Structure 1
Amino acid sequence: MKIIQITDTHFVPPGQRLYELDPRSRLDACIADINTHHRDAALCVITGDLAHRGETDAYIALRECLARLEIPLQLMIGNHDHRERFCKVFPETVLDDNGFVQSSRDTEAGRLLFLDTAQHARHTGHYCAERRQWLHRALGGASDKAVHVFMHHPPFDTGLPSCDVLSIENADELRSDLSTCPQLRHIFFGHVHRPVSGSWRGISFTTLRATAHQTLLDFEIEEELYFSHEPPAYAVILLEVDQCTVHFHDYSDDSPRIATGA
C-alpha cells in the first residue's frame, strides 16, 4: 500500500507571500509531481498547518489547489490552523463525536489513525480527555491489526529545542495511551519542518520537510529567529502488514541526471 505524506503547507490568502516564499506555487509543484509519479497511491495525508494564520481565504485557496490532486486525500490540522474555519471550507471532513478532526481507516496494511493535537490560539499541542477517549476506542477496536498513527505535533522531543518547546503539553498522557497498543508500528507527524526519523520504545517514527519554509538545524536555540528556503519535500510511504518503508522526495530538485555510462 502506497501513501503520500505532505506536511505544513502554511497557505496564505491569494496575493500574499510568507517568509519571501509563495506557499501556493510550492504546493502546486508538489501536486503536479505526485500526479505524474504516484497516481497509484491509495491516499495522500497532509499532516497539519494547512493555513499559516487559519484564514478562510487561505483555506479556500488551498481547496482550489488540492482539487487537482488525483488520489484520495486525508486532511489534518495543526497549531496554525483554525478548526471551525477549516471545517466550513472542507465540510466533508470526518470529525469525531466531539467535533475534533479525528478519524480512522482500516486498510489492507492495518488501521490508520489520524489524531487532532491542535488547541485553539496556541502553538503548543494538547490532547484532551475527549480526544483520548476516542483514541482508546480506536486502538481497542483495532483487534490484531497493525496500527499506524498520523498527527501534527510529535508526542516526544526531537532534539530541536525550537520545536520541542512547542510540543504537546500533556504528551506524557498521549504516550501512555499509545504504549497500550502492542500493534502500533509507526508514528508519522509534521510540525518540525525537517526530516527526522528514530524510534520510541521500539516504535519507529518519521517526519519531513514542509512544502513551505523550513526550520533551521539548530540544536541550541529555543526561539525561532530565522527560517530557511531549503527544498520542499513529500514522503512516499510503503506500508505492508509487517513492514513500513518511508522515502523522502525533494520534488523541486532539477539537478542534472547523468547517464550511468557517462
Structure 2
Amino acid sequence: MKFIHITDIHLVLPGQRLWGFDPLARLDACLADIATHHADAAFCAITGDLTERGEPDAYAALKKRLERFPIETHLMLGNHDDRTAYLHVFGDASASGHVQKAIARDGSTFLFLDTLKGPPSSAGLYDAPRSAWLMSELEKAAGTPVYLFMHHPPFDIGHDLMDLIKLDDAENFAGLLEGHNIRHIFFGHAHRTISGQWRGIAFSALPGLSHQLPLVSGSVETVYSDEPPMYAAVLLANGMTIVHSDAFMHRSPALMHKDAERGDWY
C-alpha cells in the first residue's frame, strides 16, 4: 500500500507571494508530480498549515485544486489555520466541531488529528473533546496497526524554536496512546526532514512546500530559509513502513549520458 504525505503548504491569496515564494505554484507543481508518478496511492494527507493567514479565499483555492486532484485527500489544521474559515469552505467537522477523521485501509487504521490551539499561541493543543474522540477510535482499532497524522509533534525535536511551540499537553497525549498498536506518527510544523522514535513509536516529518526552517538558527540571516520543498511517498508492506522523501522541484538529470549505468546491476 502507498500513500502520500504533504505538509505546511502555507497558501496565500492567488497572485500573492510569501517570503519570496509562490505557495500556490508550488502546490500545483507538487500535485501534478504526484498525479504523474503516484496515481496508485491510496490517499494523500496534508498535515496542517494549509494557509498562512486562514483566509477563506486561500482555502477556496485549495479546494478548487483538490477537486481535480485524482487522489483522495485528507486535510488537517495547523497553527496558521483558522478553523471557522476552513469549515466554511470544506465543512467536514467531527461531532465536536474539530477537523478529525478516521479511515481504514488494508487492515490498518489511519487517524487524522486536529491540534490547532488558536491565537495568539503557535503551539498545539489536544483537549478533552479531541482526546475523547481519539480514545474512541483507538478502541475501535482493537489492537490493529494505527498510523497517526497531526500538525504539531508531541515531543521535542531538538530545535530551539520549534520546541517552544510543540503540542502543549504532550504527556497527556502520550498517555492516550499507551496500550495501542501505534506504528508511526506523521507530523508537520517543523519544516524539516526528521525521523526517529519516541516512546517506541516511529515518526517522520517533512520540509514544507513553502519556506523552510534552518536546522541551526543563525546559520542564515533570516528566521526562515530557502531549501528544497518535498513530499513523501510512504510504502506499507510486510510489517514495514518505508518513507521516501522527494525533492520534486529539484529533480533534474545528472551530467551523464542518458544510457550510462543502465547495465545488469544484479
Asked if the contact 1:31/1:68 (under 8 Å) is kept, the reply is no
Corresponding residue for residue 160 of structure 1 = 159
The CA distance in 2 between the partners of 1:157 and 1:147, in whole Å, is 22
Secondary structure of residue in 2 paired with 1:88? helix
Counterpart of 2:212 (choices 211, 214, 217) is 214
Match status 1:107 vs 2:84: no
Match status 1:30 vs 2:27: no
* 1:43-97: CA deviation from partner (whole Å, max 9, x where unpaired): 0100000010101111112222323311111011111000011011112x2x322
Corresponding residue for residue 240 of structure 2 = 243
Corresponding residue for residue 185 of structure 1 = 183
The CA deviation at 1:225 is 4.6
What is the 5 A alignment of 1:1-262?
A: 1-91=1-91, 93=92, 95-121=93-119, 122-181=121-180, 183-218=181-216, 225-240=222-237, 242-257=239-254, 258=256, 259=258, 261=260
Secondary structure of residue in 1 paired with 2:232? strand
* 1:214-254: CA deviation from partner (whole Å, max 9, x where unpaired): 01111x67xx9521111110000112362111000000014
Secondary structure of residue in 1 paired with 2:186? strand
The CA deviation at 1:143 is 0.9
Secondary structure of residue in 1 paired with 2:46? strand
The CA distance in 1 between the partners of 2:238 and 2:109, in whole Å, is 10
Greater shift after overlay, 101-110 or 28-37?
Answer: 101-110
Greater shift after overlay, 237-246 or 106-115?
Answer: 237-246
* 1:113-158: CA deviation from partner (whole Å, max 9, x where unpaired): 1111101212110100111111111111101310111100001011
Write the letter of the residue equivalent to 2:150: M
Write the letter of the residue equivalent to 2:244: H
* 1:166-206: CA deviation from partner (whole Å, max 9, x where unpaired): 1111111001111231x111000000000000001221100
* TM-score when normalising by structure 1: 0.93
When the two chains are superposed, the root-mean-square deviation of aligned CA atoms in Å is: 1.6
Structure 1 residues without counterparts, runs of 5 or longer: none
The CA distance in 2 between the partners of 1:203 and 1:256, in whole Å, is 37
**Identical pairs, percent:** 46
Structure 2 residues without counterparts, runs of 5 or longer: 262-266
Write the letter of the residue equivalent to 2:58: A
* TM-score when normalising by structure 2: 0.92
The CA distance in 1 between the partners of 2:46 and 2:245, in whole Å, is 15
The CA distance in 2 between the partners of 1:213 and 1:139, in whole Å, is 34
The CA distance in 1 between the partners of 2:9 and 2:149, in whole Å, is 16
The number of residues matched between the two structures is: 256
The CA distance in 2 between the partners of 1:74 and 1:241, in whole Å, is 25
The CA distance in 1 between the partners of 2:113 and 2:226, in whole Å, is 28
The CA distance in 2 between the partners of 1:109 and 1:209, in whole Å, is 29
The CA distance in 1 between the partners of 2:251 and 2:191, in whole Å, is 21
Secondary structure of residue in 1 paired with 2:103? strand
The CA distance in 1 between the partners of 2:118 and 2:253, in whole Å, is 45
Secondary structure of residue in 2 paired with 1:165? helix
Moved over 4 A (4+): none
- Higher Cα radius of gyration: 2
Asked if the contact 1:104/1:113 (under 8 Å) is kept, the reply is yes
Asked if the contact 1:49/1:81 (under 8 Å) is kept, the reply is yes
